[in-house]
Amino acid sequence: MKKIYLSVLVAAVAVTACDKSETINVENGKQQEIAFSPISMPATKAPIASTTFPDDNTIFVSASNNKAEFFSGKTFKKSGAVWKNYDNGAGDFSPIYWPLGGTGSFDFLAYSTTLAATAVWGDGGVPNDVAGKVVITYPDNYGTAGVTTKTQDDLLYATTSSSSRSTALPIDFKHALAWVNFMVKSNIPVNITKIELVNVYTDGKFTIDQTQNTPVTSWDFSATTAGDKAILNYVDESTANTEAGVNIDGTVKVINTDYAFGDMGILLPAQPIPNFKITYDLGSGALEYIVNQPRGTWENGKKYTYKIAITFNEITLAPTVTIYDTVTGMPINL
C-alpha cells in the first residue's frame, strides 16, 4: 500500500504602504534622480528565499502620472546601493529625474526575471496608463530535453505609488510562481528514479492589472501546451542534468526519514494541481504508480512540499483446510 501525505508551506505576502504627499524635489539646487530600493518577498527558490533582492537582477519598470504615461518599460540595474535607469543603447546609466513642482502621484508597475520574458505595457486607454496593466509572456522555465536546471529563475512583480521625493523608492516584489517540491520515504529498499507532473504548464502569459483599486493577477495558458514534466536533480556545474534518483536502503526505521527528491523542485505558474507519476525500481525493473488524489490549485508565491510515504506490504498466505464432508448412505447396486 502507498500512503501520500501533503504538507503546504505558505509564503507571507505583504505590500508596503506608499507616501502620496506632494513635494518639490530640489536638493542643493539639483533635481533628483528616480531610483528604487527593492526587496523580494520570501517564497520560492533558495536564491530568493529571503527579502534580499538579488544584486544581478534587472528590473523592468513603467510609470504613469495621473494615468498619463511618464515612461514605459525602462530597464533598471543596480548602481551602488540602489537600482537606476540603465540605457542599453548607450551601455551606461542614464538618469530619469523627478519632475519639479506639485505634479501629483506617480504609479509604478515593475517585474523582474533573468529569463527572456517580453511585456506589453498599458491599458490601451487615452491617456495610456502604462502603470495600470502589463501582460508578461513568461518563457518555458525548463532546460533542454525536459530537464529542470539549476538556473531556474523566478518571476517577480511589484506595484507602488509615490509623489516626487529625493530618496530611492522602496518597492516590494512578490513571486508570480509556485515552488513545488517532493520528499519520499519507504519501508523497504527502493530506488525512486523519477517523479513526473502529468500534463502541467511551465510557461504562459502573466497579467498584472491595477487599473482598479486592488491589483489583480492572472495566468493565461491559451497559447501554450501542457505536457508531462519530470522533477530532476542538478548534478554539478560541469555535468549535464540527469534524472534524480533517491535510493532508500531499507534500514531499520527508514520509514521515519524524509529523503529530499532533487535539490530544488520546480517553479511553475499558478494552475490546477495535476496528477503525479512515480517511477520506481525494486530490483527487477521499472514500475509506475499514478498519484491521482491531490486536487486544488497551486497559487502564486507559495511553496508546496509533498511528502510521499511508500509502504510496501509483502505477499503472504494464510492457508486453512476445509474439513472433509462426511458422506453417508452411499447406495450399492448389485
Nearest-angstrom CA–CA distance, 113 and 209: 19
pLDDT at 243: 53
Grid coordinates 497551486 are at which residue?
298
Q: Is residue 317 part of a domain?
A: no
Grid coordinates 505558474 are at which residue?
269
Q: Is residue 204 part of a domain?
A: yes
State the Cα angle at 40 between 79 and 128, rounded to 5°: 75
Q: Is residue 316 part of a domain?
A: no
pLDDT at 102: 62
Grid cell digits, residue 220: 493565461
pLDDT at 220: 97
* Bridge partners, residue 281, by sequence: 191, 286
Q: Over the range 98-136, which residues count as b (16 or more CB within 10 Å of their CB) and which as e?
A: beeeebebbbbbbbbbeeebebebbbeeeebbbbbbbbb
pLDDT at 214: 84
pLDDT at 16: 34
pLDDT at 234: 47
pLDDT at 37: 79
The range of the structural domain enclosing residue 140 comes to: 2-310
Regions of the chain with pLDDT less than 50: 1-29, 43-47, 145, 234-238, 241
Q: Is residue 329 part of a domain?
A: no
- Tens of pLDDT, residues 101-146: 766 789 999 999 988 899 999 988 888 899 999 999 998 877 654 5
Q: Is residue 143 part of a domain?
A: yes
pLDDT at 300: 92
pLDDT at 137: 95
Grid cell digits, residue 108: 509604478
**How many structural domains are present in the chain?**
1
pLDDT at 75: 94
Whole-model pTM above 0.75? yes
- Calculate the alpha carbon distances from 295 to 23, 104, 119, 142, 218 in Å: 51, 47, 32, 24, 19
